[in-house]
A and B are shown apart, each in its own frame.
Chain A
Amino acid sequence: MTHDDDTSTENTATESGEDTQTTEGRAPSRRSLLGWGGAGLAIGAVAAGGTAAALRTAGDTQPAGSDATAGSAIAFHGRHQAGIASAVQDRLHFAAFDVTTDDRDELIALLKEWTKAAARMTAGDAVGDGAVGGLAEAPPDDTGEALGLPPSRLTLTFGIGPTLFEKDGKDRFGIKARRPEALIELPQFPGDNLDKARSGGDLCVQACADDPQVAVHAIRNLARIGFGKVAIRWSQLGFGKTSSTTPDAQTPRNMFGFKDGTHNLAGTDTAALDKHVWVADGDAKGKESWMAGGSYLVARRIRMHIETWDRTSLQEQEDIFGRNKGEGAPVGKKNERDTPHLKSMLPTAHVRLAHPDSNGGVRILRRGYSFTDGTDGLGRLDAGLFFLAYQRDVRQGFVPLQKRLAANDALNEYIQHVGSALFAVPPGVRNADDWWGRALFA
Chain B
Amino acid sequence: MRALRPAAVAAIAAATAVTAVSGCAAKNDGKGSGDKGTVEVTATDTSCELSAKEFPAGHVRFAVQNKGSKVTEVYVYAPGDRIVTERENIGPGTRAEITAEVKAGSYEIACKPGMKGDGIRQKVTASGKGAGAKRDPKLDAAVAAYRKYVQEQADQTLPAAQKFADAVKDGDVATAKKTYALSRVGWERTEPVAESFGDIDPKVDVRADGLEKGQKWTGWHKLEKSLWEEKKISGDDKKLSDQLITDLKDWQKRVGKAEITPTSMANGAKELLDEVATGKVTGEEERYSHTDLLDFHANVEGAEKAYALLKPVVAKNDAALAKELDKQFKVIGELLDEHRDSGSADGFAAYDTVSKSERKKLSDGVNALAEPLSKLAAAVATAK
Contacts and interface: CB of A to CB of B under 8 A. Distances in A.
A135 B328 contact: no
Nearest to B360: A231
B267 A137 contact: yes
Contacts of B381: 135, 137-138
B368 A228 contact: yes
Majority secondary structure, A binding face: loop
Nearest to A232: B364
Contact of A138 (B360, B367, B370, B377): B377
A92 to B, nearest CB: 23
Given A135-B378, A135-B382, A138-B378, A231 B364 contact: yes
A228 B328 CA distance: 8
Given A137-B263, A228-B328, A100 B378 contact: no
Give the interface size bracket for B toward A. Answer: 20 to 34
B374 interface: yes
A98 B267 CA distance: 28
Nearest to B324: A228
Which of A98, A135, A227 has most chain B Cβ within 10 Å?
A227
A98 B357 CA distance: 13
A137 B324 CA distance: 20
Contacts of B324: 228
B27 interface: no
B371 interface: yes
Interface string A226-245: 01110100000000000000
A139 B372 contact: no
Contacts of A98: 364
Nearest to A196: B357
Interface in A208-257: 224, 227-229, 231
Nearest to A100: B364
A133 to B, nearest CB: 13
B43 to A, nearest CB: 39
Contacts of B377: 135, 137-138
Interface in B280-324: 324
Nearest to B378: A138
Contact of A228 (B267, B372, B378): B372
A21 B360 CA distance: 40
A137 B375 CA distance: 9
Contacts of B328: 228
B367 A231 contact: yes
A229 B377 CA distance: 22
A299 B150 CA distance: 51
Category for how many chain A residues contact B:
10 to 19
Interface string A190-206: 00000001000000000
Contacts of B167: none
B369 interface: yes
A137 B371 contact: no
Given A137-B381, A138-B378, A227 B367 contact: yes
Given A137-B267, A137-B381, A228 B374 contact: no
Contacts of B367: 227-228, 231
Contacts of A100: 364, 368
Contacts of A231: 360, 364, 367-368
B375 A227 contact: no
A382 to B, nearest CB: 19
A228 B321 CA distance: 12
Contacts of B357: 197
A100 B371 CA distance: 15
A229 B368 CA distance: 7
Contacts of B382: 135
A1 B378 CA distance: 51
Nearest to B377: A137
Nearest to B270: A139
A197 to B, nearest CB: 8
Nearest to B376: A138
Contacts of A224: 371
A138 B374 CA distance: 7
Contacts of A228: 324, 328, 367-369, 371-372
Interface in A78-98: 98
Given A228-B324, A228-B328, A139 B364 contact: no
A98 B360 CA distance: 11
A137 B368 contact: no
B268 to A, nearest CB: 12
A227 B378 contact: no
Nearest to B328: A228
A49 to B, nearest CB: 41
Contacts of B374: 138-139
Interface string A90-116: 000000001010000000000000000
Given A135-B378, A138-B377, A227 B368 contact: yes
A137 B310 CA distance: 15
B378 A137 contact: yes
Nearest to B371: A227
A137 B380 CA distance: 9
B103 to A, nearest CB: 20
Nearest to A233: B360
A100 B369 CA distance: 13
Interface string B161-204: 00000000000000000000000000000000000000000000
Nearest to A138: B378
A196 to B, nearest CB: 9
Interface centre among A98, A135, A197, A224 (most CB of B within 10 A): A135
B263 to A, nearest CB: 5
Contacts of B375: 138-139
Query: Which of A135, A139, A228, A231 has most B Cβ within 10 Å?
Result: A228
Nearest to A231: B364
Contacts of B380: 137
Contacts of A139: 374-375
Interface in A111-156: 135, 137-139
Nearest to A134: B378
A73 to B, nearest CB: 28
Nearest to A139: B374
Which of B357, B364, B374, B381 has the most A CB atoms < 10 Å from its CB? B364
Contacts of B368: 100, 227-229, 231
A191 to B, nearest CB: 25
Contacts of A227: 367-368, 370-372
A99 to B, nearest CB: 11
A110 B324 CA distance: 14
A98 B365 CA distance: 13
B266 to A, nearest CB: 8
Nearest to B356: A197
Contacts of B267: 137
A197 B368 CA distance: 20
A135 B263 CA distance: 12
Nearest to A224: B371
A100 B334 CA distance: 14
Given A139-B375, A231-B364, 4 more contacts: A137-B377, A197-B356, A228-B324, A228-B372
Interface of A: 98, 100, 135, 137-139, 197, 224, 227-229, 231
Q: Closest 10 CB pairs between A and B?
A: A138-B378, A228-B368, A231-B364, A227-B371, A137-B381, A137-B377, A227-B367, A137-B263, A135-B378, A139-B374
12 contacts: A137-B266, A137-B377, A138-B377, A139-B374, A197-B356, A197-B357, A227-B371, A227-B372, A228-B324, A228-B328, A228-B371, A228-B372
